[in-house]
């Protein structure tokens, strides 16, 4: 990885801001959700909102269709200078004023006067963050689904595989590994279902104008339709239930991953040795039979960061009047980060569960007196029967 | 309040543990939810679970109906010594072992052998906490509903009352106070709806036996029916989505209260003077016209404690195996506390909104150029039309 | 524990508010610190502040010594009705107004006019909370010290006892159990030293009058001397560094306990079986050789609650003007709770370490190739040499 | 800011990972601390540790000086590919294995065999993070110092400028603006002093080898000397007091900024109008006399993120055995982020205070009856007299 310094346009040593290409990105930005949470993704989402807004107004006849097309054509993230926008953001405590000015310049007359019509900066940023969330939740939920599928397969296969039940980290009565995996499956499925509910019902267009008093239901409806977001009865500038509920659902999903990853690290201890990770990571060159539980450790590391971020989002709900002096702005990066680390946790969980190696002989050895395998199998069946 | 020390059996200076009667109870345990979160309530809920469990087994014929009746009759909290149970809890890192022993002693033979049948301590405590939540959520939701009703009345009355919109704590374009109140109403309604959804769908019976492998669907169903709790497909001993989602919904409700309470403290500033609290508190003996915003300050004080508690519950989700060594136990008090402070926040919000005094002249004075009152009124109508 | 209902004046079923006597008090209010965090303790501390304040003014000659004595004599917590004070607190969003009125009534003329002289409610409550912290930190630090002593003894005894080092929960190179215990010792010692530093330097008198502009350095100095608190250069009404630093030091202490308790739960797993708890709790009647790690589980349960509480205290630092509208009030209960659960964690750690049973044969068995015992012993010596 | 896409090697639309150049960097990565928290800075710090380690061993004679020089020469961040290192990090749940391999390749024989001598990955990463903190704290403390100086100047200038004291957001007795500013000054000074104490005493070299049992005091001492870090008595692999205390001190500093920024937003309200921000940002093109409080809003937005991050660091203290499975890894990004946002908060505070415009006429108008200006001035003097 050390290279001479002549090669690429980016050059060695020049870090990218794409979350997955950063120094710790392999751990904390795994999977496809991360790409939706970086600067390019947020910039792209803001531009998508501006483009959709122009088209929505055009649909109402308020601006010429050609102008909307011109605006939409200019909404190409590659044409904007992120660092310059970032510097300009410092002058307004938000990045939209600078973006709109740059977009107007890119569009040129006469269409430039229709850029950002009726909207306030918060409309664009709130809607863009909802859009970012919508986009990130798709791969995130996909990874949770794949993880749950892998988990359900383990549950089915091992429905009657005895394993020691353990309470307070002490061996208790036996259960089956399948029932344990069924518990993980239910948790993953439920967490995903809740995220999908939030995605469909909670993620919503923001369109309220300067003080949340814009009444443009047709435009909002068109925006919602184009961007795949719900259309709320009234603007929600200072009612932060939506980011907070999104955060909470992500926190619960991270917790579901933490539970199974914790179990795997414990089952993979040398002294227990009932499972072993089988993914690409963790192989020791010196000791071929040794495997560090890289996936579960990484999943835990991602998941443990969620509660503090959720608390930040919840703590930001008490926003002043029509736009908060600090609390609104405090939401942005934590929300992006929460999407990223929860997405990464989900991707690690998938990797972990799709490659988990199970030592049924060792499990039986430690399980002690036979569990009631019939009961366990019945519970596994019942758990899996509820899957969509 | 200073008294001679001869009077009551409790005696002055002897604090009660009823949350509302404690030294700071007037602030942090307002409303009816608090009473469901104290020691007596939790003890009562555990005993209700034991009683319901006995009856549920009797229904299946597994134990004689008379024995179930004897057990249920003994499940009277007044017969148990809380301090002794607390001391015994230290020997087991949970209070159920001691309670079951005391209950068995109270029941006596022959019914005592059927006490706690099939259950493990976690079954009783988890189900009891769900029951506590169910009970506390009723008055809590009632206060949120009453607060929202008062808020909706303000929205309706002031749909066309101009007020300065304020962004970053600076005056911006005018809006109407009714639209502002409509925003609060929507937030309160949504928070309550989410809590009621959680109450109906998420709060669930726990019945899994020692390692979560008990299969007694009829008993679980009977328990759920009697206690008003959902019946999950399989036990959820180490899948902590339920307490976490409950916590999250409480956190969002606290945030909805924080928002409006924050606004009221700001509108009540002497320099703004657009509203004034009208409840019982806050009157200055020296200055009759002065009112400290006691209700909004107390509501904020309660609400600000929620995010940290939610984070604790979320952070506890990574529980080991079939019963966690610390993380499960860490949930109990924070959950009770979260119910209490959110309940108190809701009660304060109700008090606040039911007595809010609005100075429309002052509002108009500061509002500047007339807002589009028709648009605001239309938005208010649309917001209130969605109310159940 | 079930009793007939005729016995005591308190009666069974009537919970006490003394933290250690509550239903979960055995777990979350262990040790002597808890008693300093209850209603009686806070009430007592507020009265101690009022008494000390009167005496301090008397020393300056501002009020007659006899009046100060009369005031001090009335400052007996047993003479006040906690529930009534709690109810009155709701009218002021703080409990001091009610207490001062009750104290004035108890004192009677002519001394009553000197009650609470110069002070504002916040002076009394802030100083009382500092005093509560000072009192609670003594036993808390004592338990940390005893825990560290027990730990140091383990380190010394087992300086050359081989044990497997474990990274990512996988066996790695061997180390010695003594070195492991030395690490715990250093952490406990450092956490205690930091708490004692905070106790000596950070806990301070508050005396600023209504808006923090009182200048009474002699009175403040006398208060500080009597109560054992530092005397700050100016009042700190809205500079919340002191509660926040106290909270942070408690959080770090809780974390130090969590680390060793986590290790003990892992070492005590049946599959590892290198240590076993030896305290009073956790014995199974059915299986005499089995021991639930009750102390470490309880310590973890206490410790895991600290971070959320610390975050609440830190999040409350942004207080408005001369007295905050919500954020100040939000500090009180979390600070008391943090003292209680950290104190309980420390007491559990002490119990745990004073009775830990070490299986050196099993340790050697799992340790694999001999560690460099000389190096480990040297590190242990070096670690212990730094102890005070 | 919209540009054609032919220009630079980086190209428009290609975001940088330098925190200050990112899309929201102007707000959340202000000041010089941020540059120490990015990928390049962390990579550079890891390489500095490897170079210092080689030199330290050379000093003991364990490796040839020439080899140490060769290693140090190769430790140039520009020669390493961040994205490739990030990808490799996923295979080990940490980035050091990949870095050491790349460094060995860059060094080549024979010196390559001495790369990373005696160290484990955690040694390098922990020491590097301490180094990052040390570097970031210098400008951060510089900004806090400059902010406090500006604040002290305000305090001095306005020691006798009357202003309304405000409690619960209601006007109370008058005080002086100088006394208010003196309170801010003390808080900033104390926060900085605590950070500098942490920097000098708490930030420490980590050198423990695979399981924390390396005993190389001379090497550790040389490392500490070269890197400016304390040398602990024994390795602290699983004793996470150091990152936790660092985090806590940052959290307190963020809180000190939040307090004054909150006050400024309130004083800058149109209805109060006692101060106005005077920095570069916030000017309205439409309304020249209007100023959005961009600096205080940004400071608040940064500061509000600290408590959740501190909680994450505290919650990570319960680390397993000699290297944690998740909790250690969970520290890295939150620590970097906490340094970044606290640094940015400090830079905003400095900007805010160095340009604050004070309207003494308006202050006097609202202050009501004259405060005791002599007392206030005396308190200001006393506060400022304690400055270093």
Which DSSP symbol is given to C123? H
**Cβ of C169 and A268 within 8 Å?**
yes
**Cβ of A241 and B383 within 8 Å?**
no
Does any domain span residue D362? yes
Average pLDDT over residues A20-29: 95
Torsion of CA B61, B65, B70, B75, to 10 degrees: 60
Is residue D284 part of the annotated active site? The answer reads: yes
Out of D17, D284, D382, D387, pick the active-site residue: D284
Chain D interface mutation, best of A4, A10, A14, highest count of D Cβ atoms under 10 Å: A14
Does any domain span residue A56? no
For residue B170, the cross-strand partners are: B167
User: D122 — contact with chain A (CB < 8 Å)?
Assistant: no
User: D325 — contact with chain B (CB < 8 Å)?
Assistant: no
User: B289 — contact with chain D (CB < 8 Å)?
Assistant: no
Interface B–C counts its CB contacts (< 8 A) at: 323
Q: Are C263 and C175 in contact (CB under 8 A)?
A: no
- Rounded to a whole number of angstroms, the distance between the first and last alpha carbons of chain A is 45
Chain D interface mutation, best of C322, C327, C370, C377, highest count of D Cβ atoms under 10 Å: C322
Q: Which of B25, B23, B33 is nearest to B336 (CA)?
A: B33
Burial (Cβ within 10 Å: 0-12, 13-18, ≥19) of residue D278: middle
User: What tens digit of pLDDT does each residue of D182-205 get?
Assistant: 999 999 999 999 999 999 999 999
Q: How far is A317 from chain B (nearest CA, A)?
A: 5
User: B286 — contact with chain C (CB < 8 Å)?
Assistant: no
D366 contacts in chain B (CB < 8 Å): 271
Q: Of all residues in chain A, what percent carry a pLDDT higher than 90? A: 87
In chain B, alpha helices (H)? 25-28, 39-60, 65-74, 82-89, 96-107, 121-157, 177-197, 217-227, 241-267, 294-303, 306-315, 332-354, 360-367, 373-385
Neighbours of chain B (3+ CB pairs under 8 A): A, C, D
User: Smallest Cβ distance to B266: which of D169, D171, D308?
Assistant: D169
- Model confidence at B289: pLDDT above 80: no
* Residues of C with catalytic roles: 284, 323
Out of B16, B79, B284, B387, pick the active-site residue: B284
User: C265 — contact with chain A (CB < 8 Å)?
Assistant: yes
- Rounded to a whole number of angstroms, the distance between the first and last alpha carbons of chain C is 45
- Model confidence at D1: pLDDT above 80: no
Q: Cα B110 to the chain's mean position, in Å?
A: 39
Does any domain span residue B54? no
User: What tens digit of pLDDT does each residue of D49-93 get?
Assistant: 999 999 999 999 999 999 999 999 999 999 999 999 999 999 999
**Cβ of B269 and D293 within 8 Å?**
no
**Cβ of D312 and A305 within 8 Å?**
yes
- Which of C83-87, C278-282, C351-355, D119-123 bottoms out in mean pLDDT, i.e. has the lowest? C278-282
- Model confidence at D48: pLDDT above 60: yes
User: What tens digit of pLDDT does each residue of C15-32 get?
Assistant: 556 899 999 999 999 999
D 86-105 residues inside an 8 A Cβ radius of A: 86-95, 98-99, 101-103, 105
Residue with tokens 């089956």: A176
Query: Where residue A208 sits, what CATH number does that domain have?
Result: 1.20.200.10
CA D131, D114, D66 angle in degrees (round to 5)? 90
Does any domain span residue C114? no
Out of D323, D340, D344, D350, pick the active-site residue: D323
Token readout for A273 is 């040795």
User: Smallest Cβ distance to B2: which of C102, C297, C302?
Assistant: C102
Q: Name which residue leads in pLDDT, D229 or D281.
A: D229
Give me the pLDDT at residue D224, please: 97
**Cβ of B169 and D315 within 8 Å?**
no
- Model confidence at B1: pLDDT above 80: no
Does any domain span residue C168? yes
Residue with tokens 């991707």: A347
- Which of A361-370, C25-34, C258-267 bottoms out in mean pLDDT, i.e. has the lowest? A361-370
User: Smallest Cβ distance to A292: which of C170, C293, C297?
Assistant: C170
Does any domain span residue C96? no
Q: Name which residue leads in pLDDT, D6 or A361.
A: A361
Chain D interface mutation, best of B170, B282, B305, highest count of D Cβ atoms under 10 Å: B170
Number of domains in chain C: 1
User: D165 — contact with chain C (CB < 8 Å)?
Assistant: yes
* Residues of A with catalytic roles: 284, 323
Band (B3; pLDDT cuts 50, 70, 90): very low
**Cβ of A168 and C271 within 8 Å?**
no
* Interatomic CA distance for residues D93 and A133, integer angstroms: 26
Band (C368; pLDDT cuts 50, 70, 90): confident
Band (B4; pLDDT cuts 50, 70, 90): very low
- In D, minimum Cα distance to A104 occurs at D2
Element (H, E) at A163: strand A162-167
C311 contacts in chain A (CB < 8 Å): 308, 311
Domain, as residue range, for B183: 120-385
Residue with tokens 């520290």: D331
User: A314 — contact with chain D (CB < 8 Å)?
Assistant: no
- Mean predicted lDDT score pLDDT of chain B: 93
Neighbours of chain A (3+ CB pairs under 8 A): B, C, D
Q: How far is B39 from chain A (nearest CA, A)?
A: 25
User: What tens digit of pLDDT does each residue of B25-70 get?
Assistant: 999 999 999 999 999 999 999 999 999 999 999 999 999 999 999 9
- Model confidence at D289: pLDDT above 90: no
Band (B279; pLDDT cuts 50, 70, 90): confident
Give me the pLDDT at residue D10, please: 41
- Model confidence at A286: pLDDT above 60: no
Q: How far is C229 from chain B (nearest CA, A)?
A: 24
Q: Of all residues in chain C, what percent carry a pLDDT higher than 70? A: 94
Does any domain span residue A35? no
CA distances D249 to B162, D137, D329, Å, are 46, 11, 21
Does any domain span residue C161? yes
- Which of A6-20, C208-222, C335-349 bottoms out in mean pLDDT, i.e. has the lowest? A6-20
User: D81 — contact with chain C (CB < 8 Å)?
Assistant: no
- Model confidence at C12: pLDDT above 90: no
C 197-216 residues inside an 8 A Cβ radius of D: 209-215
Q: How far is A369 from chain C (nearest CA, A)?
A: 15
Q: Name which residue leads in pLDDT, B4 or B48.
A: B48
- In D, minimum Cα distance to B362 occurs at D271
Band (A192; pLDDT cuts 50, 70, 90): very high
Residue C134 neighbours by CB under 8 Å, 6+ apart: C199, C203, C227, C228, C229
Q: Are B11 and C79 in contact (CB under 8 A)?
A: no
* Interatomic CA distance for residues D166 and D328, integer angstroms: 44
Token readout for B84 is 């002794």
Give me the pLDDT at residue C16, please: 58
**Cβ of B265 and D290 within 8 Å?**
no
Give me the pLDDT at residue D282, please: 79
Q: How many CB atoms lie within 10 A of CB B50?
A: 26
Largest CA distance in chain D: 82
Q: How far is A376 from chain D (nearest CA, A)?
A: 30
**Cβ of D311 and A309 within 8 Å?**
no
Band (A14; pLDDT cuts 50, 70, 90): very low
C307 contacts in chain B (CB < 8 Å): 311-312, 315
């Amino acid at each position: 990885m050390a290279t001479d310094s002549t090669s690429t346009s980016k050059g060695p040593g020049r870090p990218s801001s794409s979350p997955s290409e950063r120094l710790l990105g392999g751990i904390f930005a795994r999977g496809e959700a991360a790409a939706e949470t970086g600067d390019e993704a947020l910039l792209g989402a803001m531009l998508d909102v501006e483009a959709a807004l122009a088209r929505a107004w055009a649909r109402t006849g308020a601006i010429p269709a050609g102008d909307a097309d011109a605006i939409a054509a200019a909404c190409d993230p590659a044409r904007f200078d992120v660092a310059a926008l970032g510097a300009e953001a410092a002058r307004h405590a938000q990045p939209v004023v600078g973006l709109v000015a740059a977009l107007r310049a890119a569009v040129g007359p006469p269409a430039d006067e229709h850029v950002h019509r009726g909207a306030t900066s918060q409309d664009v940023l709130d809607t863009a963050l909802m859009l970012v969330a919508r986009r990130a939740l798709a791969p995130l939920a996909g990874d949770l689904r794949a993880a749950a599928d892998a988990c359900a397969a383990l549950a089915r296969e091992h429905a009657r595989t005895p394993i020691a039940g353990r309470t307070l980290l002490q061996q208790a009565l036996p259960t089956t590994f399948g029932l344990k995996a069924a518990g993980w499956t239910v948790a993953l499925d439920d967490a995903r279902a809740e995220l999908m509910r939030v995605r469909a019902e909670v993620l919503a267009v923001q369109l309220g104008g300067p003080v949340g008093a814009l009444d443009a239901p047709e435009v909002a409806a068109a925006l919602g339709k184009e961007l795949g977001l719900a259309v709320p009865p009234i603007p929600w500038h200072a009612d932060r239930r939506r980011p907070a509920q999104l955060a909470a659902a992500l926190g619960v999903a991270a917790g579901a991953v933490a539970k199974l990853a914790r179990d795997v690290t414990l089952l993979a201890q040398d002294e227990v040795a009932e499972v072993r990770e089988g993914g690409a990571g963790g192989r020791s060159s010196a000791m071929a039979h040794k495997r560090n539980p890289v996936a579960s450790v990484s999943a835990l590391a991602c998941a443990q960061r969620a509660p503090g971020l959720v608390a930040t989002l919840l703590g930001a709900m008490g926003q002043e009047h029509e736009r908060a002096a600090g609390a609104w702005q405090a939401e942005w990066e934590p929300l992006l980060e929460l999407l990223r680390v929860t997405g990464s946790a989900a991707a690690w969980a998938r990797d972990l569960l799709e490659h988990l190696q199970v030592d049924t002989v060792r499990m039986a050895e430690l399980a002690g007196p036979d569990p009631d395998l019939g009961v366990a199998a019945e519970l596994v069946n019942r758990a899996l029967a509820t899957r969509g």
